[in-house]
């Protein structure tokens, strides 16, 4: 249905935990994605409900008709554009290589020969790791959420991980994880808000209008400052 329905409660899928974009505190969802979508919804008169799940489950749940909107620090990619339509970009991100804080031997992908790289199911980081696996001679192991990915490297089960740099730098700064980012950024991308392809044209127009209004009013900057500082 391409028509927007003002009485419908649109379900928004977000990652289980992906600070500063989404996390739970005192039983409440918080974070950049959460504040942004609530502000857009309020500006445009969209009723929404947040549903947290493993990131890899968001697009499949949209395709199954269980979710209307997908977020979760979701990068805009050509592959995903075959399944979803994206809003205008709302955040600049990209991937970084991450190792244990006391690791002195891995500085780039070139140092991963014979090593184990932990990846998170369904992410751009996982795709990147799989694409460069043969060239650099490492193995991959897969988990479903970022917390598990960080633990695998902290406890030595894996040698490295690939994560979005805004997320890993925030995690290291906030929770003092014993991890470090190494080397150059692996790529650059942008986050977008997604809806099922070709099925929610009016909803997407409203999302874009709301996003533009928040940028004009300064509310977008306020949300960013709340979580990232000035």
By the rule CB under 6 A, 165 interacts with ligand GLN: no
Mapped onto helix, strand or coil, the DSSP state of residue 122 is coil
Stretch that binds ligand GLN, among 101-109, 118-126, 152-160, 175-183 (CB under 6 A): 118-126
Stretch that binds ligand GLN, among 32-40, 106-114, 119-127, 153-161 (CB under 6 A): 119-127
Alpha-carbon span 5 to 7, nearest angstrom: 5
Cβ distance 109 to 128 under 8 Å? no
Tell me how far, at minimum, the Cβ of 122 lies from ligand GLN, in Å. Answer: 7
By the rule CB under 6 A, 33 interacts with ligand GLN: no
Q: Which residues 53-92 are close enough to bind ligand GLN by CB under 6 A?
A: 55, 72-75
Cβ distance 198 to 85 under 8 Å? yes
Cβ distance 218 to 39 under 8 Å? no
Cβ distance 124 to 77 under 8 Å? yes
Pick from 44, 87, 103, 123 the residue near ligand GLN by CB under 6 A: 123
Cβ distance 197 to 82 under 8 Å? yes
Tell me how far, at minimum, the Cβ of 165 lies from ligand GLN, in Å. Answer: 10
Instruction: By CB under 6 A, name the binding residues for ligand GLN.
Output: 15, 18, 55, 72-75, 93, 120, 123-124, 164
């Amino acid at each position: 249905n391409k028509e927007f329905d003002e009485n419908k409660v649109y379900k928004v899928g977000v990652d289980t935990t992906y600070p500063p974009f989404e996390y739970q505190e005192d039983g409440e969802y918080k974070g950049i994605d959460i504040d942004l979508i609530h502000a857009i919804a309020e500006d445009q008169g969209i009723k929404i409900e947040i549903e947290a799940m493993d990131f890899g489950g968001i697009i499949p749940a949209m395709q199954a008709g269980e979710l209307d909107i997908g977020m979760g620090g979701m990068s805009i990619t050509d592959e995903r554009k075959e399944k979803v339509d994206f809003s205008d970009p709302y955040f600049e991100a990209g991937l970084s290589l991450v190792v244990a804080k006391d690791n002195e031997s891995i500085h780039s992908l070139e140092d991963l020969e014979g090593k184990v790289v932990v990846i998170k199911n369904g992410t751009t980081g996982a795709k990147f790791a799989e694409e460069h696996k043969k060239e650099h001679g490492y193995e991959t192991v897969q988990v479903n959420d970022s917390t598990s990915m960080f633990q695998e490297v902290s406890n030595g089960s894996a040698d490295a991980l690939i994560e979005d740099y805004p997320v890993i730098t925030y995690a290291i700064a906030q929770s003092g994880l014993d991890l470090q980012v190494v080397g150059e950024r692996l790529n650059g991308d942008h986050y977008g808000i997604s809806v099922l392809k070709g099925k929610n044209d009016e909803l997407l127009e409203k999302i874009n209008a709301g996003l533009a209004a928040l940028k004009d009013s300064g509310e977008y900057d306020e949300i960013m400052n709340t979580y990232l500082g000035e």
